Structure 1
């Protein structure tokens, strides 16, 4: 009911209000910024003024003619970012898990300088169990890795951290839930 009343008030004498607004004097636009040459004069002189950019420059044209460009088919060139691995740069797998849980079903060899997840786990665990036997130098030689990368692998790749939580005792302070 209220919407009908509001609509009636809004549409009351609408035509008269519209005509009054249309016949009202329009505001004057702001003056334009003064320029050096008037727009009408600039358009008439545009045909007679020669633009130095579009002029023919003989010395530059002679230099341009002296440039020789030889192009080759990009398909024939090797891509810069992609390195093609040759058969001599691959090594057989040293270790694989039974049942291939990591999806390495058809993998028989890897590029030199790379490790599979199973090999990385084996190398890190061997180094953690016997650090005197499995030194970074021996791991690098065994898996065809760089010594710097091997040291970083053994220092920063920590697959498992076992934390033993001591059993609860009567002396241990515990937070008890309130029964509010």
Structure 2
């Protein structure tokens, strides 16, 4: 309702206001500043600049020839050598793998120490669930070359087999019945 009233006041006598605005004289643009550059002065300065750029400066050239820079990063070179030597010693053979290509991945033969494949993690979890007294976090850490805190975290947070059925809060609540 308010929009209609506002539109009425906005459009009231619109045509007359438009003609009045159009008939006003437009402001004149400011005149451009005249620039007078003598043609001889501009071209001679440019010619001198080109000449000085193309001219050889013998003292600077000899100094430039005497500079030789060789850059190597000793920390990166040592780290790459250590990585190459450490890669072979820090890998372990797989403990368990599925036949064929599980999950569409190429079959692995070894993994880095401190890491697990999905199949190894599932095997470790199922063996811990079946025999918690014998497959302790310490035994899993030793078998799979893991840190003890990583093995404990694996058993605590990676729980794919646990199903919890939450009972209703009230006795009157309706439950879905299996047919």
State the TM-score bracket (shorter-chain normalisation).
Answer: 0.3 to 0.5
Greater share of helix residues, 1 or 2? 2
Q: Structure 2-normalised TM-score? A: 0.47
Q: Structure 1-normalised TM-score? A: 0.46
